[in-house]
Structure 1
Amino acid sequence: MSTQTTGGTDNSAAPDHPSRSDGFVRGVSGLIGGPLGDHAAALDRPVGGERRFWTAVRIVLALVCLTMALHWVQKSPCQDGAWTNNVQYTRFCYTDVLALYYAEGLNEGKVPYRDHPVEYPVLTGYFMGVLGLPVHELGSEDPGLNQAMWFYNLNVLVLGALAVATVAVILALRRRRPWDAALFALAPALLLTATVNWDFLAIGLAAFGLLAWARRKPALAGLLLGLGGAAKLWPLFLFWPILLLAIRSSRLRAALTAIGTGAAALVVVNLPTALLYPTNWGRFLELNTERPIDWGTLWYIGRYLDGKFGEPDAGPFEWLSNNIPVLNNLAYALFFLACVGVAVLALRAPRRPRLAQLAFLVVAAFLIFSKVWSQQFVLWLLPLVVLARPKWGAFLAWQLAEVGYFVAFYGELLGTSTGTPVFPEGVFVLAATFRLTTVVVLCVLVIREILRPEQDAVRASYPDDPDAGVIDGAPDAPWVTRQRASVAAT
């Protein structure tokens, strides 16, 4: 019978060093002299009576700042908004932030939802307006001002600050394992997609929501996750693992407080716009209902295989692409079944899973079965996988797949725009399959570590779950104990 460690999380233990604990890093460290020695001076400990300036925390924060600066450079060819000769594809610098400044009427001073329907949830629309309308006013006073460039760079500053804040949250949640946050800070996907859209608004809110939950503030956690859900839908999915772990530990009051606060925040943000401008407010829901199979999804791969190995225009995936309501229901059903599977895993695992493990599985399942998987959605998984499974090997394989998909995606966009294929047929589908496969592999690895908690790197550093808040260190509910005793007896 397994038992949960009581007493909460103790942060006084020595920090983890990846060159010792991570097999991949230990192997690579041989190129520069091998793992950290037993007598080496730790970066976060005083030397000669003085504390080092370059601690692990400061190095990781500097790295994410460097990555965001390089991201800005990588997107700089598109900053002026004058996209001629398909520069947005040939230089890999396309961003919705610039494209939608015009498409959503911000350059004309249109107020989101009031004057123009917006294809995103309300908080993202508000965010666009708060940053875009002042730029339009400046442009009205100074006709020579490049509004697009000002708007994009203002977004880079705010979204970049949210990216740095997300790393700071990971560092706060992993005081014993500060180098885990380096996976996020150095992720190639962050470098390539950080400001393709406004996803970091939801990511930042979700990260702070998880921190509030870990700090045993369920009402604040619910508020932040609810606001995150008002920016992008996926932060609302995090309430499911919170509820499951609360059921297993008999800590329902805290979970229900968070869920209730989150629901209230979602209603408060959406209700005024829904009542005043119902048609424009509902555009997001309408688009998600009507959208066909998007590039790079499981359904897109299936439709391609229909055309290659089945009868043209007669395969099951091709049929689904022509029957969007059925496709919607099937995608929802598969995601629901995945959530049921996560529930079974959470309630029957030999040891209570960690919150980040279940959160990663839920969000990953949503992407795997969704009919839309935009290039920047990789950012949703970044903080969750770092918290769930901070191991470099599989993480880098996944990032390699994301980079390959990124390049193939832009090649496909360029080929569609010019009418001349950039890559041989099937390259884009192969890249999408590789990306999908690596996400599935990460899910399998996380599930394996849930079933074999002795393989969990985070549990090697913490007695229970540093993200679990009031659940951290709590014993399993009596019914779980009885169930496990019954299984052991048989």
Structure 2
Amino acid sequence: MTVADRVVPTWTEPLATGASAPIGGPLGRHAVVGRHWFWTPLRVCLLLAVATLALGWFSKAACAQQFFNEDNKTLELDWRANRPFTALCYSDIIPLYSAERLNQGGFPYRTKWVDDEGKPTAHDRYMEYPVLTGLFQWFNAKLAHGWVALSTSPWIPNGLPVVVYFDISAFWLALAWLVTVWAVLRTHRRRPWDAVLVAISPLVAVHAFTNFDTLATACAAAGLLAWARNRPVLAGILLGIGGAAKLYPLFLLGPLLVLCVRSGRMAAWRSSALSAVLTWIVVNFPIWYAYPDGWGEFFRRNALRGADPDSLYNVVMQWTGWAGFDGPLGFQQTPSVLNAVSAVLFLVCCAAVAFVALHAPTRPRVTQLCFLVVAAFLLTNKVWSPQYSLWLVPLAVLAVPRWKLLLTWMVVDALVWVPRMMFYLGVDPSNAKKGLPVDWFLGTVVLRDLVVLGLCAVVLYEIYRPERDLVRQTGEDDPAGGVLDGAPDRFTLNTAKLRGRVVPAGRPADELRT
């Protein structure tokens, strides 16, 4: 593929055209491009991602400040005066260092402790994260302890172990997001500049270091790239690794299944699915075998969780006074009806996506269906932690690369963080007059969900009107499709297709493989 085959965003995207004004305006029609020895699209996108990640680190740095406590003459983490909420810097990484007993050096899933000891709510606890994420935290804690032990020289920066732990974790999480940017850019080779949206996303600046989700986005994006390069086994391995960090990368096997059914490419899907399942088992089996109770903590605690503050279920409960599907629950009681409802709604949405995949006149692109499935999970799930929105960023850019639309969603989604923190500030009765009412927070949640639904509607529209799909307007069928790219249909629910052969969008008839 030559440089001339690339889509030039300053010619096609009004947002890019305006943004190019400080550096000379849109690319000239006769400009010579692609010959600079260093400034390739990949390096530019990675540099922009580094800048955004640095901004993200600085946004959390206020919560990693230290102060000397004159009362007990010790150096302590400065979370005085509700700093995590007033400075909007809250990160799960910092409190989890002690909450998951990482500060004690024990091995996760083996280490057990009692929460609320001495109270009626006392209960046993283990590491609550999936295996790879739990081991990632433990590994970083060990590195932090080693750094603190070795940093006796005045020339080596040092600090509280929790601060060192946060910085080490942030380093690896930033690398994972750079992998995400790289994978997105390589997946759509004719549209490399779309990866700029992954690099500069406001969601990255706010949530890259809120939790550990960039590990999963890197695996999911790299898995889709491997699939695009006709390497289904490698794709399955990467999705399996991602599933051992967060479950959502395994959801991507569903869209691949229905598209392989439609195109008769089931051998590739079986290879990918089998390698994903085996990889997940290989990663999880040693922990499950050695520490079954610790391994099961993730599933137990997720089953016990009620409607998350960011979920639509909570919005309805707060605004109507409804007690929820299960009514008032006691300590450690499972919201069984809520769990069932959210699971059934997600499965119904998956069935609808499968119908669209088999019914659309032209086979949908892989990333279009992947985006719809993950968005459906977030919208129907009882938990939408703020950092989960990172899952959608690479998928949205690959599915519907409309810059203004995507940046609008990202800004709205990122801004949910502000009323969320201000609401939590007022939860403490002593700060009731300092925080925002819950309605401000719930309103932004609804707005965020409506914008995501709008993105889903655009994706569905372009599935049924492939001539409006910006990716297919470049003349390609499905750059992320791998074995599906340009493949003719073998099975479809569209009766019109049964009467004749339809050429996939962007492919002339003589290029179809039979």
Instruction: Settle same-fold status: TM greater than 0.5.
Output: yes
131-140 or 389-398, larger mean C-alpha shift: 131-140
**Letter of the 2:173 counterpart:** L
Equivalent positions of 1:136-175 (< 5 A) are 136-139=145-148, 145-175=159-189
Contact 1:16 1:177 in 2 (8 A): yes
Any conservation in 2 of the 1:138–1:145 contact (CA below 8 Å)?
no
1:74 aligns to what? 59
In the TM superposition, 1:194-233 aligns within 5 A as 194-233=208-247
Q: Structure 2 vs 1, CA of residues 329 and 219 (structure 1 numbering), >3 Å: closer, same or farther?
A: same
Give 1:59 shift: 1.6
Aligned partners of 1:213 and 1:468 also within 8 Å: yes
Deviation at 1:87, TM superposition (A): 0.9
1:13 to 1:466, Cα distance in 2 relative to 1, 3 A? farther
2:106 aligned partner:
110
Partner SS, residue 422 of structure 1: coil
1:468 aligned partner? 481
Give 2:265's aligned residue: 251
Greater fraction helix = 1
**1:462-489 deviations in Å (ceiling 9; x for gaps):** 4211111111121111666876134999
> 2:214 is paired with a residue of what secondary structure?
helix
Counterpart in the other structure of 1:125 = 134
**SS of 1:86 mapped into structure 2:** helix
1:391 maps to a residue whose letter is R
CA 1:478–1:86: 2 relative to 1, 3 Å: closer
- Which residue in the other structure is 2:338 paired with? 327
Structure 2 counterpart of 1:468, one-letter code: G
User: How far apart, in 1, do the equivalents of 2:38 and 2:23 lie?
Assistant: 23
**Equivalent position SS for 2:416:** helix
Shift of 1:75: 1.1
Q: Which of 94, 99, 103 matches 1:98? A: 94
> 1:273/1:431 Cα in 2 relative to 1: closer, same or farther (>3 Å)?
same
Count of residue pairs the alignment pairs up: 467
Q: Distance in 2 between matches of 1:108 and 1:224?
A: 32
1:388, 1:480 → 2: CA distance?
Answer: 23
Matches of 1:17 and 1:451, distance apart in 2:
26
Task: Compare relative contact order (CA 8 Å, sep 6+) and give the higher one, 1 or 2.
Answer: 1
TM value normalised by structure 1: 0.90
CA distance in 2, matches of 1:30, 1:12: 22
The question of whether the paired residues in 2 share the 8 Å contact of 1:306 and 1:317 is answered with no
Q: How does 1:366-445 map to 2 (within 5 A)?
A: 366-417=377-428, 418-445=431-458
Q: Which residue of the partner structure matches residue 5 of structure 1?
A: none
1:331 and 1:370 in contact (8 A); partners too: yes
Identity %: 40
Residue of structure 2 in register with 1:64 after alignment: 49
> Structure 1 pair 239/478, CA: closer, same or farther in 2 (3 Å)?
closer
Contact 2:360 / 2:494 at 8 angstroms: preserved in 1?
no
| CA contact 1:303–1:318 (8 Å) conserved in 2 | no
- Matched position secondary structure for 2:473: coil
3-state secondary structure, aligned to 2:89: coil
Say whether residues 1:353 and 2:364 are aligned partners. yes
Partner AA of 2:498 in structure 1: A
Mapped pair 1:191 → 2:238? no
TM-score if structure 2 supplies the norm length? 0.86
CA distance in 1, matches of 2:163, 2:497: 60
Distance in structure 2 (CA, Å) of the matches to 1:277 and 1:134 = 23
Q: Check 1:295–1:244 CA distance in 2 against 1; reply closer, same or farther (3 A cut).
A: same
Q: Give 1:39's aligned residue.
A: 30
Amino acid at match of 1:69: A
- Once the two structures are overlaid, the 10-residue window that deviates more, 125-134 or 252-261, is 125-134
- Contact map agreement 1:465 1:472 (CA 8 A) in 2: yes
The residue identity in structure 1 corresponding to 2:484 is: I
Opposite residue 200 of structure 2, the aligned amino acid is L
Distance 1:383 1:159 in 2: 16
Q: What is the aligned partner in structure 1 of residue 191 from structure 2?
A: 177
CA contact (8 A) 1:226 1:263 kept: yes
Shift in alpha-carbon separation, 1:441–1:189, aligned structure 2, 3 A: same
* Distance of 1:172 and 1:136 partners within structure 2: 37
Q: Is the 8 A contact 1:292 1:321 kept in 2?
A: no
How many angstroms apart in 1 are the aligned matches of 2:480 and 2:2?
13
Contact 1:293-1:321 at 8 Å conserved across structures: no
Separation in structure 1 between the aligned mates of residue 424 and residue 306 of structure 2, nearest angstrom: 17
Structure 1 residues 6-21: aligned runs within 5 Å? 13-21=4-12
**Alignment partners' CA distance in 2, 1:39 and 1:63:** 26
C-alpha contact 2:311 2:383 (8 A) present in aligned 1:
yes
The match for 2:84 is 88
Distance across 2 between alignment mates of 1:12 and 1:430: 45
Distance change in 2, residues 1:352/1:479 (3 Å): closer
Aligned residue for 1:296? 310
